[in-house]
Amino acid sequence: MSSTAHDLTVLTGLRKHGDAWQDMGLCRTQGEDLETFFSSDLVGRAKSICIRCPVIDDCRAWIMSVEDGLSATSRDGVFAALTSDERAALDPEVRRREAEAAKRRSENKPAPRPDRPQPAAAPVRPLDELKALPLDDLDLTARVHNALRRMDIHTVGDLIALTEAEVRSIRLCGAGAFAQITDRLAALGLALREPQPRVRDDLKPCGTTAAAKRHERAGEPLCAPCLAARASRAQRRREEQQDALVYAAWMRGLTDQDIAHATGFASVVVRRARARQGLQAHERQGAHAA
Ligand code: SF4
């Protein structure tokens, strides 16, 4: 018996062998065509009828017992607002069988292939050991080798202390020699020294007199760090001038008071200038005698 014929029989049986609940099913009382419950195009309509059916719970219990253990492909039609797939999914026996089948499939899967063996990595040599290697180990041509030796370069360490520009400036070290040197160093995982980048004035951070000048060139007001830098530089210049004048007066044997009178500085300025230079104050002539 085909599944459709089976289900038609079931539904017909539902219609024919009515218990009390079966007589109340809308599929029976509404005069709906049986095909409504077996057409894939009319699933929505069939479900809408079942949902309104007053005996939907009885119908569901009945169809689940009738189809007990059947796979989804052996079921058909809409009963109690459930399609064949939905009823099979609710059947514990069907679910148990599907779980077992899934487990078997996973167990029969071929074992994952082991990764291909990776070639062993070259042993890493300590940098100090590499730097101590003599130039002979680089297998340079005699011409390049001699050119380097003339510049007092005898080891790999001597070589990698040079920048590209320095190597290119060596006599008889042209483009070919330079390529040869960099290739040999690269084989050891080494390279020539990178030149130190020069910091341009326009990249200097604020808080320096150069940065203050940059503000001025740009017509900008000085920021606080640049103002402080400018003030401290002006202060240093002022102090240098004070020190020079105080020193000249002190060399003439003048006391602090006389130096202040001669230079026009305040006494405290004179004392500080003298202290900065480590000069002892001169006593006024005859002060002790008095
Ligand atoms: S639930 Fe649907 S199939 Fe079941 S008796 Fe009611 S209308 Fe008929």
pLDDT digits (tens, 9 = 90+) for 54-76: 888 888 888 888 888 888 887 88
Nearest CA to ligand 1 atom 3: 79
CA of 95 to the centre of ligand 1 (A): 24
User: What pLDDT score was predicted for residue 1?
Assistant: 39
Q: Which atom of ligand 1 is nearest to the CA of 21?
A: 5
Rounded to 5 degrees, φ, ψ at 218 are -85, 0
User: What pLDDT score was predicted for residue 47?
Assistant: 86
- Domain 127-187, what architecture? Orthogonal Bundle (1.10)
DSSP, collapsed to helix, strand or coil, labels residue 134 as: strand
CB 143 within 8 A of CB 172: yes
Q: What mean pLDDT do residues 259-268 have? A: 91
pLDDT digits (tens, 9 = 90+) for 140-190: 888 888 888 888 889 999 999 888 888 888 877 778 888 889 888 888 888
Q: What percent of the chain has pLDDT over 90?
A: 6
**Integer-rounded Cα radius of gyration of the chain:** 51
DSSP, collapsed to helix, strand or coil, labels residue 33 as: coil
Ligand 1 close to Cβ of residue 270 (< 6 A): no
Closest CA to 224 of 211, 234, 237: 211
CB 273 within 8 A of CB 239: yes
Ligand 1 close to Cβ of residue 10 (< 6 A): no
Q: In Å, how far are 144, 232, 253, 279 from 241, measured between CA atoms? A: 58, 14, 19, 16
What ranges do the domains of the chain cover? 3-104, 127-187, 209-276
Q: What mean pLDDT do residues 188-216 have? A: 76
Residue whose CB lies within 8 A of the most ligand 1 atoms, among 7, 27, 78, for a mutation test:
27
CA distance 13 to 21: 13
User: What pLDDT score was predicted for residue 255?
Assistant: 92
Closest CA to 89 of 103, 100, 73: 73
**Amino acid code (one letter) for 157:** G
**Amino acid code (one letter) for 19:** D
Q: Which atom of ligand 1 is nearest to the CA of 11?
A: 3
Q: How many other CB atoms sit within 10 Å of the CB of residue 59?
A: 23
E-strand stretches of 97-248: none
User: What pLDDT score was predicted for residue 269?
Assistant: 92
User: What pLDDT score was predicted for residue 186?
Assistant: 87
Query: For 35-39, 143-147, 198-202, 276-280, which range has the lowest pLDDT when averaged over its residues?
Result: 198-202
Q: In Å, how far are 22, 31, 62, 85 from 25, measured between CA atoms? A: 5, 10, 12, 22
CA distance 99 to 87: 16
User: What pLDDT score was predicted for residue 166?
Assistant: 85
